[in-house]
């Protein structure tokens, strides 16, 4: 789910936001954010707003789509990253364009329509597939008529949507850089229900014409988490199994033992990969990060790492340069 330097987020974003992200049963007490208090002391963590655009993204080609909400990057030929950098999730969706059809991998948080952006990038028929069904990855699913999904109870539950009361903190003033998007009704923000047209399974191939991608089940972060592999081009879309920040493994449905098994599988692909494409913060990362994360999660599972309490019921665990947020 949210990945903007999570150690700093605990201090920057009100704790109730973190609860909303985790679908918590209890709401921890709110903390005043630096943005709200105007604090600029040397001990104040740097806001994610001050780090935009992130260096990895700044090196990519920007594609003008006429939007003041989405920033679109051409990661490489036929691959576009649709970013929402002004909301602290920094969610990234990917449009993968073949010669016959296109695949939209994730659809963001749903504050601003995504389909018009997609239609500026391709005239081909578009299929949606989600890396998992947390609300910040399915926000625009309802705008599309062809949606693929895993067949799990977790997935089917999330297909029903989420009410505003569960997500109100996602649109609180401190969740945005420069305020919410123009015209967005934050008071009515919710996760809309969507209809699945085809169930996919581990190993399924999706042909786009000159490009074929393969679904890899990667449970752990959620029961329905997947990665998307393009073996011919050496690409791996990692969803929330890997992104360049603290990796969150405490939400309902998370299974750290399953996550370790999934990372073992993904790390085995490293010698064949050129690029990772994560779902938050940065649209490109080095494949060797999978090996590093696997080593770190194994150390954590064995009881290692530096552990720091992080709010009610959570702790961060740092192993070398990898940090996990887990339940206590």
Domains of the chain, with CATH numbers? Answer: 6-327 (3.60.15.10)
**Encoding tokens for residue 153?**
């109870």
Question: What CA–CA distance (Å, rounded) separates 226 from 201?
Answer: 9
Distance CA 323, CA 175 (A): 22
Task: Give the pLDDT score at 55.
Answer: 95
* pLDDT in the model for residue 46: 64
pLDDT along the chain (328 residues), means of 10: 44 40 32 28 61 95 97 98 96 98 98 98 98 98 98 98 93 92 92 98 98 98 98 98 96 96 98 98 98 98 97 94 96
Cβ atoms 154, 223 nearer than 8 A = yes
**DSSP per position, 147-208:** EEEE-SHHHHHHTT-B-HHHHGGGGSGGGBSSSSPTT--GGG--B-----SEEE-TT-EEE-
Residue 48, pLDDT score: 80
Alpha-carbon distances, residue 183 vs 72, 180, 194, 223, 307 (angstroms): 20, 8, 22, 35, 42
In angstroms, how far is CA 280 from the centroid of its own chain?
Answer: 4
Q: What is the DSSP string of 242-311?
A: S-SSPEEE-STT--HHHHHHHHHHHHTTGGG-SEEEESBS-S-B-THHHHHHHHHHHHHHTT-SEEEE-S
Instruction: Give the pairing of strands 275-278 and 235-239.
Output: parallel
CB environment 136-149: b (16+ within 10 A), e (fewer): bbbbbbbbbebbbb
Q: Cα Rg for the chain, rounded, in angstroms?
A: 18
Q: What are phi and psi of 274, to 5 degrees?
A: -105, -30
pTM to 2 decimals? 0.89
């Amino acid at each position: 789910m949210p990945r903007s330097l999570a150690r700093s987020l605990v201090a920057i974003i009100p704790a109730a936001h973190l609860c909303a992200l985790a679908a918590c049963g209890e709401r921890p007490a709110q903390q005043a954010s630096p943005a709200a208090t105007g604090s600029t002391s040397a001990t104040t963590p740097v806001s994610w707003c001050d780090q935009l655009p992130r260096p990895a993204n700044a090196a990519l080609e920007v594609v003008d789509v006429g939007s003041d909400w989405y920033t679109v990057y051409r990661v490489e030929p036929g691959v576009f990253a649709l970013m929402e950098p002004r909301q602290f999730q920094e969610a990234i969706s990917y449009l993968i364009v073949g010669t016959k059809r296109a695949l939209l991998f994730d659809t963001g948080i749903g504050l601003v329509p995504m389909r018009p952006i997609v239609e500026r990038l391709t005239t081909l028929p578009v299929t949606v597939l989600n890396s998992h069904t947390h609300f910040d990855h399915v926000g625009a699913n309802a705008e599309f008529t062809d949606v693929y999904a895993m067949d799990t109870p977790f997935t089917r539950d999330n297909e029903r949507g989420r009410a505003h009361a569960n997500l109100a903190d996602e649109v609180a003033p401190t969740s945005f850089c420069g305020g919410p998007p123009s015209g967005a009704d934050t008071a009515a923000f919710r996760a809309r229900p969507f209809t699945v047209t085809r169930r996919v399974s581990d190993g399924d191939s999706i042909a786009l014409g000159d490009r074929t991608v393969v679904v890899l089940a990667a449970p752990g972060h959620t029961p329905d988490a997947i990665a998307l592999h393009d073996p011919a081009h050496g690409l791996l879309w990692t969803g929330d199994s890997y992104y360049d920040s603290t990796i969150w493994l405490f939400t309902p449905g998370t299974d750290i033992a399953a996550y370790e098994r999934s990372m073992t599988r993904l790390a085995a692909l490293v010698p064949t990969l050129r690029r990772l494409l994560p779902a938050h913060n940065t649209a490109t990362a080095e494949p060797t990060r999978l090996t590093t994360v696997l080593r770190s999660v194994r150390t954590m599972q064995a009881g290692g790492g530096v552990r720091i309490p992080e709010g009610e019921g959570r702790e961060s665990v740092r192993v070398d340069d990898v940090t996990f947020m887990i339940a206590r």
